Chains A and B, each alone.
Chain A
Amino acid sequence: MPFQELNHTADYLYRCSGGTIEELFTSAAMAMFSLMFDEREEDAVKIGIKLEAGDFETLLYDLLSELLFLSEVERVVFSGIDITIHDHSLEAVASGEKFDMERHRGGTEIKGVSRYGTEIRQEDGKFLVDIIFDV
């Protein structure tokens, strides 16, 4: 599993993993998408994202915050993402479907992405990160 939910009283905590930094970021984005909406069927809508940051932790935080912003303002239910990272620059294409009130209204609203404990670490040749989504 590229991500698994861990116990947290007030919010949602996920442990995400990947063989590469790109895979790790993809896992984190997918964890967020799975939390936000249950029904995600199409990937006809595509949105490009470019970001730069001083370190990978900030880059990941910025990516997730940007996806949250885009989902709300562009009214898109994301289900996939294609990410390329060079140094601390990121290019991504997120894909999904237009928000449909009937199917998507019961989703989980994420208020923000916590930076608590978001240190990226390596174990057994894998990158790992724990992320709390404030709901």
Chain B
Amino acid sequence: MLEGLNKISDIEWEVRKGYVDDMAVPGRIFLSEGLGENLEEGAVKQLANVATLPGIVKYSLGMPDIHWGYGFPIGGVGAFDVEDGIISPGGVGFDINCGVRLISTPLKKDEFSGIKRLINTLFSTVPTGVGNVAPKKFSDSELEDIMREGASWAVKEGYGMPDDVKSCEENGMMKEASTEHVSTKARQRGRPQCGTLGSGNHFLEVQYAAEIMDDEAARAFGIEKDQICFMIHCGSRGLGHQVCTDHLGTIENATKKYGIKIPDRQLACAPVKSPEGEAYFGAMAAAANYAWANRQMITHMVREVIEGDFGVDYNEMKLVYDVTHNVAKIETHVVDGKKMELCVHRKGATRAFGPGSPEIPKDLSAIGQPVIIPGSMGTSSYLLKGTQTAMEKTFGSTCHGAGRLASRSSAKKSHSGADIRQDLLDRGIFVRATSNKVIAEEAPEVYKPSSEVVDIVHRAGLSMKVARLEPIGVIKG
């Protein structure tokens, strides 16, 4: 483990105040000794830098998948008092509301065959990879509705079922969206892309529930052993990227205007309650809504394919849940016994609200929020449940995935995409991608083992394992 970190327990480490100048609070990282061997000094410094920002509450937090990011570390959580705190695009990232959803089917692994046919059909149906566009280019007014209404818009237009919306974080729509702060450029990028998967680490995966660890929660979430499911990981595409790019400029100016001292230019920020902060928040919320609509459109395409190919009724493919990774939200948390309104940034982190939270579906209130942690093409994904411990320690947050260990260029040098594809096929996982280069860059070996990361959040009580899901087919951009 790096110097300067104090051990709190086997899985919790403190970044003491003074690690960098002007820290208002200490940092906390949830990490094992084993995963700590790969902890980057740059990521710890970024975590410490976040602790210097105005209005930060309790701790600057790092999840076990922490790594060096842009401004905030990836796997970072920072909560700021809305009265005197800040909002920062660097705490959200370029891919606003990049997120994951899990959909169950009534198919069982033993009765299911034809994964190659299914993956090939999905690959030709769901627009995937750089430059690919959705079958429908949306009008300006449709895009406006998408940005205001998110998943609800898609369901209203026939791309889903009413229950889908209830199974999304925030009901698939941030009501604070203010589309007037979304530029013409962002709209131009967004119009052809709603219903596209994108590229890089985004994917669509067919999985089966290999192990149930919590029978009661699995029953409540609608997951049974050996059930075939599909998982969608993507975000707000070019629209969200452009919103981030556009607002970085205005927020940089605001940082100077309000005299906010920042240790890193990428931590440019504005008071939550300032015209610039509110404009960014409104545009970010609009992009988040676009991302929910995007995942909803893809869900619809997949349901139609499975209905057509396997005779499964569309309505039998339930959305288990949809979580968001890169977002800032206004939430009420109890801090030192007092209720506080906070601007919680989760950058490569997942909300994991505990039992009784009014924000989670009523029928899951006794269980806790479903949490979905994807693996990396050839490794396990997990379904977990949110906890009271997360509410107390991490503002209701947990990890978001495996986290990279190796760079994309070194991955390409050490792994051949064709070999990885064959290795995965030998293990019963059929991959279709736009290029072998993408497969090499996203090889399972370049990520931390998802099981180790999930073990830590489970042991720390930040979210508890419900089911382990194993991939059998993947499409990648």
A116 to B93, CA, bound (A): 13
B416 at the interface (CB under 8 A from A): no
Q: Is the Cβ of A132 less than 8 Å from the Cβ of B70? A: yes
A interface vs B, CB < 8 Å? 5, 7-12, 36-38, 58, 65, 69, 72-73, 75, 99, 101, 104-109, 111-116, 132, 134-135
B414 CB to nearest A CB, Å: 13
A120 to B170, CA, bound (A): 42
Query: Could you give 19 example pairs across A and B, Cβ below 8 Å?
Result: A5-B409, A8-B407, A9-B67, A10-B67, A12-B408, A69-B185, A69-B242, A99-B131, A105-B131, A106-B434, A106-B435, A107-B131, A107-B199, A108-B199, A113-B245, A115-B248, A116-B264, A116-B265, A135-B200
A28 to B4, CA, bound (A): 36
How many pairs of A and B residues are in contact by the CB < 8 Å rule? 94
Q: Is the Cβ of B248 less than 8 Å from the Cβ of A73? A: no
- Given A8-B407, A9-B40, A105:B94 Cβ within 8 A: no
Q: Is the Cβ of A9 less than 8 Å from the Cβ of B68? A: yes
- Given A9-B405, A12-B408, A73:B188 Cβ within 8 A: yes
The residue in chain A whose Cβ has the minimal distance to the Cβ of B417 is A106
B interface vs A, CB < 8 Å? 40, 67-71, 74, 93-95, 129-132, 185, 188-189, 198-200, 238, 241-242, 244-245, 248-249, 264-266, 404-410, 433-435, 437-438, 477
The residue in chain A whose Cβ has the minimal distance to the Cβ of B70 is A114
B119 CB to nearest A CB, Å: 17
Neighbouring B residues of A132 by C-beta, 8 Å: 70
Q: Is the Cβ of A69 less than 8 Å from the Cβ of B189? A: yes
Neighbouring A residues of B433 by C-beta, 8 Å: 106
With A109-B130, A114-B266 known, 17 other A-B pairs at CB within 8 A are: A7-B407, A7-B410, A8-B407, A9-B407, A10-B68, A37-B130, A58-B249, A69-B189, A73-B185, A75-B131, A105-B132, A106-B130, A109-B198, A112-B241, A114-B70, A116-B71, A134-B94
Q: Is the Cβ of A10 less than 8 Å from the Cβ of B132? A: no
A57 to B40, CA, bound (A): 27
Neighbouring A residues of B131 by C-beta, 8 Å: 72, 75, 99, 101, 104-105, 107
Neighbouring B residues of A105 by C-beta, 8 Å: 129-132, 434-435
The residue in chain B whose Cβ has the minimal distance to the Cβ of A8 is B407
A66 to B94, CA, bound (A): 15
Q: Is the Cβ of B95 less than 8 Å from the Cβ of A111? A: yes
Q: Is the Cβ of A73 less than 8 Å from the Cβ of B189? A: yes
Neighbouring B residues of A116 by C-beta, 8 Å: 70-71, 264-266
The residue in chain A whose Cβ has the minimal distance to the Cβ of B74 is A10
